[in-house]
Amino acid sequence: MKTFVTNFFDNSLFSGSQWQDKSVMIIVPHEDDELNLTGATICNLLQHKIKVRVVFCTNADRFDRGELRVREGIASCKALGIPDEDVIFLGYCNTFRINKNLHFYNGAADDIIVTSTRNMTETYCPPEKPEFCFLHHKIHHKFTKKNFRYDIKEVLTMYKPDVIFVNDFDRHPDHRAVSFIFEEALAKILQTPGNAYTPEVYKGFAYNGAFLGKRDFYASLNLAGEERASAEYSNNSAYDTDFPPYDWDKRLRLPVPVNFLSRTLKGSCLYPAIRAYLSQGLIHNAKRIINSDQIFWRRRTDSLTYQAKISVSSGNGKVLNDFKLADCTDILKEPADLDAGTWIPDKRDPYKEIFLQFAKPQKITRIILHGNVDFNSRVLTGFLTFSNGKHLEFGSLRPGAKSTIIDFPLMENIVSVKLTLLNIQGPKAGLNEIEIYEHKIAPTLFSFIKIRIKDTFAYDYWVNNKTEDLYMNLYAYDAQGAHFYEGRIPKNYIFTYVGGKNFKVKGSMVYLQKGFKEGVVRVTDALHPELFDQIVIHRKSLWELFRFKFVQAYDAIFTRIEHLVKNKYYKKRIKEKNPDLGKIPE
């Protein structure tokens, strides 16, 4: 069966020399979240010979003893091309509840031991694949928040990945816990005196846009991009994203690889990996998971505050450099409140000051302040005082703990910074995090451009007989972050005709003339010629489009039947071999 894959499109992402000898780590709660969060990106990295390690934090053992999901995770990673030694299991239980109403993340003590739904209290994995702590220390760790944090910290310090992808705060309590505990573990590394390890960290949502995204795989001629969460599936519809500190228009959109792009499920390189999760019926969500891009938000790790001594005139100053942009008092609650983790000065405090002391003189050129999440409480004005005697005033902080950026000419030999709040509004007004940087722009391994048509990343772009022209816009990502170019595109981005007949390219417009069948367009950054993107445009006849829809219908029916038959047989065999297993979810 033809899979409608072309080889005319290409992109410079991951092909640069900066990726040589670099490694990437994916940290997710459950077996299948690696596909929801980074499936296409894993494919892309492996195709470019970049080292990828996947870390599963739990055995997803809510309904059984977990060996089933562990083995599915191994099989899925093998289907992607990840060797067994690069698949790591921490071996913790699913749903870390101390009791029905209390999650261990919000438990009062770090060393409270959780008993799983399968009456287990310590980490485990199948004998052929020991969990991380047993593999390296010959011990099993009790199910405690302290041990969980320690294992994440150790796996980071052992492998020191250059780039880390981690799930962020979405609707699932385990996802929320992993997101926050990862941040606690990384903060301990960043706060270690003399630390020089500052990886690139990218966080994204495994549910919205993927597992709970739109079922849009068969919806149009061209594969759709990941969309903003709808109110139905969002963590809280009052926010721009599931996690309020993030700006939707500042997201990193990663292109997907050539063999990921197929107009049939069976033609996608991700399909064999998705099939491995028979117990989850993940194939039913393939139509949501497979998109034309993958979305993340960068979290810088090079802030000088992690190595600073912080004191405050009142309140809890420890939250100001803990790598958390927001925190939650009850991650089981729906919708969750993210108004914890805020430094709130005492109402009677006449100073309302934060004092940061550096161990040695620093160069500073940018400060980023994150206020509190509560929309009804705001820091309205304040000022910064530097050890060189200079002062800077700042106005109202952005709501929802979004970043308020304060830039200024380079200051050298700074040994301390004092922040004073002058005017605040509301009972929860304060700061969630302070970031101080020597460089406004953070170095990054990611630098690329991508052609968009109607805000969708274009690759093998199909049009019908009525289409006479196409307007192309552009997405670019570099050390300065994401850039969405609409209308006027900077002159350094040059669109050119590469191959084909009966079409022409003028600026960012493509004109399709009579007799046009196929054409190739390339965009290059004149300032950085190594950066390029190339797409192919196909015009399809009514007969070709009818055949295409027939093939897609066959594909949808075949994959559905295949899964139902195999799933039923698979579960029967599992139950025969393990009669004590609980219900295996659909």
Give DSSP secondary structure letters for 439-477.
-SS---S--EEEEEETTEE-SEEEE-TT--EEE-EEEEE
The pLDDT confidence band at residue 566, using thresholds 50, 70 and 90, is confident
Q: What is the pLDDT of residues 439-455, one digit of tens each?
A: 999 999 999 999 999 99
Of 151-160, 239-248, 560-569, where does the model show the most confidence?
Answer: 151-160
Q: What is the pLDDT of residues 338-364, one digit of tens each?
A: 989 999 999 999 999 999 999 999 999
Q: pTM of the entire structure?
A: 0.95
pLDDT at residue number 486: 84
pLDDT at residue number 576: 63
Question: In this predicted model, which residue has the larger pLDDT, 565 or 21?
Answer: 21
CB 132 within 8 A of CB 151: yes
Least confident of 76-85, 139-148, 193-202, 559-568: 559-568
Measured distance CA(524)–CA(423) in Å, rounded = 49
What's the mean pLDDT in 252-276? Answer: 92
Helix (H) / strand (E) containing 510: strand 509-512
Q: Partners of 524 in the beta sheet?
A: 494, 532
The pLDDT confidence band at residue 169, using thresholds 50, 70 and 90, is very high
What's the mean pLDDT in 469-496? Answer: 93
pLDDT at residue number 575: 64
Measured distance CA(279)–CA(568) in Å, rounded = 9
Tokens of 188: 């301990």
For residue 238, is pLDDT > 90?
no
For residue 570, is pLDDT > 70?
no
Q: What is the pLDDT of residues 380-424, one digit of tens each?
A: 999 999 999 999 999 999 999 999 999 999 999 999 999 999 999
Taking CA atoms, 217 is separated from 75, 214, 258, 265, 542, in Å, by 24, 8, 16, 8, 20
Q: Domain 448-540 belongs to what architecture?
A: Sandwich (2.60)
Which of 369, 402, 400, 372 lies closest to 384 in space, CA to CA? Answer: 369
pLDDT at residue number 18: 95
Same fold flag, 311-437 and 448-540: no
Which CATH number is 311-437 given? 2.60.120.260
What's the mean pLDDT in 530-535? Answer: 96
DSSP, collapsed to helix, strand or coil, labels residue 49 as: coil
What's the mean pLDDT in 309-314? Answer: 98
What strands, in cross-sheet order, belong to the sheet with 509-512?
469-471, 509-512, 503-506
For residue 2, is pLDDT > 50?
no
pLDDT at residue number 240: 83
For residue 493, is pLDDT > 50?
yes
Taking CA atoms, 235 is separated from 174, 176, 228, 293, 333, in Å, by 14, 11, 12, 21, 10
Measured distance CA(300)–CA(368) in Å, rounded = 11
pLDDT at residue number 7: 55
CA torsion through residues 131, 137, 142, 147, sign: negative
Give, in degrees to the nearest 5, the angle at Cα 25 between 368 and 137.
Answer: 115
pLDDT at residue number 186: 98
Which CATH number is 22-299 given? 3.40.50
Which of 483, 552, 491, 548 lies closest to 524 in space, CA to CA? Answer: 491
pLDDT at residue number 232: 73
Each domain of the chain, given as residue ranges in start order, spans 22-299, 311-437, 448-540
Least confident of 154-163, 269-278, 385-394: 269-278
What's the mean pLDDT in 18-26? Answer: 97
Tokens of 115: 């008993």
For residue 157, is pLDDT > 50?
yes
Measured distance CA(289)–CA(215) in Å, rounded = 8
The pLDDT confidence band at residue 278, using thresholds 50, 70 and 90, is confident
Percent of the chain with pLDDT over 90: 79
Measured distance CA(287)–CA(258) in Å, rounded = 18
pLDDT at residue number 571: 65
Distance from the first to the final alpha carbon of the chain: 29
What's the mean pLDDT in 112-124? Answer: 92
Report, in angstroms and rounded to the nearest whole number, the Rg of the chain calculated over CA atoms. 25
For residue 569, is pLDDT > 80?
no
Question: In this predicted model, which residue has the larger pLDDT, 115 or 237?
Answer: 115
Which of 237, 205, 256, 245 lies closest to 336 in space, CA to CA? Answer: 237
Taking CA atoms, 513 is separated from 197, 334, 466, 504, 516, in Å, by 55, 54, 11, 8, 6
For residue 541, is pLDDT > 70?
yes
Measured distance CA(328)–CA(389) in Å, rounded = 38
Average pLDDT value for the chain = 92
Least confident of 57-71, 99-113, 210-224: 57-71
Which of 95, 116, 274 lies closest to 176 in space, CA to CA? Answer: 95
Least confident of 117-121, 214-218, 234-238, 269-273: 234-238
